[in-house]
């Protein structure tokens, strides 16, 4: 009898111990493995143990309300920090990247190119126009061959691309248009030569008097080919470049050492918000969205097909087509980059000559595989690409492939509705300047009214 009671008591104690261990295991898993990686969207509750036990597909909370980004206050650029030192929490993902990225992979895409020998040269950044819409879009070429692309606001409701070509060439990229201050940041980060068709006098003077002078490739008689005018197109949006022909004309077209981001799969993707469409509204003229194609695991771009009736209202979209390949623009990663837009003086403000200061750090929203990661961009080295990190300072893994950056300012607003996310660019106020226009100043002509 006593033996039977002792046996029953021992069994009860054993079950209790197993139950306690299981509870501790779930709690530890939730606290260490999931919560440390989950970055909740604004308005989302923190991830709990109950969610871990029964992982749902989290979606953005439907809400028509608009609110400011976390950094949506006017601020100057943060200082450029000293070379970043990895923390213990960063060591493992950095080591993982170093072990898995093939030695002959493109550091900008993480992929091994069809022609690996192309990586033994300097990357090339090309300014590509997108307005006037009716003239440029039927001829816009080469963007599907770029490794990565930045789109940013220039003036009068218009945006422009700066596309970086490295692992592929485009026989016809353009129309090539004028440069901006932001282009310097891209040149330095990617050690790139810059193909552009002149610039505002202030910007051009700044570039020509800098140490980047040997890497500036402008329309000149001795630069055609590869940078030539297509006389069948009327107007000044008729300059195109064969990217393969630029390198041989540079004084230094040697291999460059570039820091790659961390490429790899998302850990715990089910714990990240689902976002299938990313809208960026720059103005009534310039707007776009990226739609996730779950069948092909890529984002497809749709751009403005006509002027909107008002800001973010009455917009008309069409697939954005590269006329070199006939293919729609696609991306593996889409990143909304929050960067201060400043003016050096009131004269620049009146003419909307922005300096989009990509220095220090700022907020970022990373979209890949139909999911969103709230992150931070960090430019800790002047001559190396930015890094994307999570809230704990760990590198966010990029999907191998093409990345598009949509550059907006901290005063922009964001709205999330279901699996849609809208970013609304805030155009800095334009004030009449008391500074007279400098004698003899002749700005590069830019369409200011017709966007058709």
Are 360 and 379 spatial neighbours (Cβ–Cβ below 8 Å)?
yes
What token pair was written down for 286?
């310039």
Share of the chain above pLDDT 90, in %: 67
pLDDT at 62 over 70: no
Name the pLDDT band for 28 (thresholds 50, 70, 90): very low
pLDDT of 128-166, one tens digit each? 999 999 999 999 999 999 999 999 999 999 999 999 999
DSSP state of 170: -
| Top mean-pLDDT range of 22-31, 46-55, 60-69, 373-382 | 373-382
Least confident of 185-194, 334-343, 347-356, 439-448: 439-448
Distance in angstroms (rounded) separating the CA atoms of residues 278 and 275: 7
Could you give the CA distance from residue 11 to residue 17 in angstroms, rounded to a whole number? 10
> Could you tell me the residue ranges of all domains in the chain?
2-59, 68-424
Other CB atoms within 10 Å distance of the CB of residue 248: 9
Whether residue 377 contacts residue 361, with contact meaning beta carbons closer than 8 Å, is answered with: yes
Predicted pLDDT at 322: 98
Q: Can you tell me the mean pLDDT for 176-199? A: 97
Q: Is the pLDDT of residue 35 over 70?
A: no
Residue 267's pLDDT is what?
83
Q: Output the CATH code of domain 68-424.
A: 3.50.90.10
3-state class (DSSP) for residue 235: coil
Which of 11-25, 374-388, 395-409, 423-437 has the least mean pLDDT?
11-25
Distance CA 266, CA 272 (A): 9
H or E segment and range at residue 175? none
Helix then strand then coil, % of the chain, to nearest 5: 20, 25, 50
Model pLDDT for residues 231-263, shown as the tens digit of each residue: 999 999 999 999 999 999 999 999 999 999 999
Q: Is the pLDDT of residue 230 over 50?
A: yes
More confident residue, 445 or 107: 107
Among 24-28, 270-274, 286-290, 323-327, where is mean pLDDT lowest? Answer: 24-28
**Residues 73-91: pLDDT tens digits?**
333 333 334 334 444 444 4
Q: For residue 172, is pLDDT > 60?
A: yes
CA distance 131 to 125: 19
């Amino acid at each position: 009898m006593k033996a039977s009671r002792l046996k029953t008591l021992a069994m009860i104690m054993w079950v209790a111990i197993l139950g306690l261990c299981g509870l501790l295991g779930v709690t530890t898993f939730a606290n260490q493995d999931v919560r440390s990686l989950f970055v909740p969207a604004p308005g989302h509750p923190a991830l709990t143990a109950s969610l871990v036990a029964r992982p749902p597909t989290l979606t953005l909370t439907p809400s028509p309300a608009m609110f400011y980004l976390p950094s949506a206050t006017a601020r100057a650029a943060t200082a450029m920090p000293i070379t970043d030192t990895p923390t213990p929490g960063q060591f493992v993902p950095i080591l993982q990247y170093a072990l898995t990225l093939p030695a002959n992979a493109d550091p900008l895409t993480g992929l091994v190119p069809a022609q690996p020998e192309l990586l033994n040269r300097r990357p090339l950044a090309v300014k590509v126009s997108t307005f006037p819409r009716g003239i440029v879009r039927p001829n816009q070429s080469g963007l599907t061959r770029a490794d990565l692309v930045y789109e940013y606001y220039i003036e009068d409701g218009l945006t422009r691309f700066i596309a970086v070509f490295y692992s592929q060439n485009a026989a016809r990229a353009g129309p090539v248009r004028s440069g901006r201050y932001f282009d310097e940041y891209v040149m330095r980060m990617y050690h790139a030569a810059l193909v552009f068709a002149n610039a505002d006098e202030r910007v051009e003077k700044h570039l020509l008097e800098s140490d980047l002078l040997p890497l500036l490739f402008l329309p000149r008689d001795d630069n055609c080919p590869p940078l030539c005018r297509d006389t069948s197109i009327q107007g000044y949006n008729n300059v195109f470049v064969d990217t393969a022909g630029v390198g041989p004309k540079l004084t230094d077209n040697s291999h460059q050492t570039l820091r790659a981001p961390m490429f790899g799969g998302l850990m715990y993707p089910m714990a990240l918000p689902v976002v299938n469409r990313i809208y960026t509204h720059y103005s009534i003229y310039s707007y776009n969205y990226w739609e996730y194609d779950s069948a092909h695991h890529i984002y497809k771009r749709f751009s403005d097909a006509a002027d909107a009736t008002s800001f973010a209202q009455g917009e008309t979209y069409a697939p954005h087509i590269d006329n070199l390949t006939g293919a729609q623009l696609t991306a593996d990663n889409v990143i909304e980059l929050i960067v201060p837009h400043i003016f050096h003086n009131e004269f620049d403000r009146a003419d909307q000559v922005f300096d989009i200061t990509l220095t220090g750090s700022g907020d970022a929203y990373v979209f890949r595989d139909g999911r969103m990661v709230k992150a931070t961009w960090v430019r800790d080295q002047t001559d190396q690409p930015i890094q994307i990190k999570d809230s704990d300072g760990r590198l966010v893994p990029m999907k191998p492939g093409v990345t598009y950056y949509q550059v907006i300012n901290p005063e922009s607003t964001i709205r999330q509705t279901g699996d849609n996310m809208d970013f609304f660019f805030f155009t800095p106020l334009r004030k009449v300047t008391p500074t007279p226009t400098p004698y003899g100043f002749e700005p590069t002509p830019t369409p200011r009214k017709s966007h058709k």
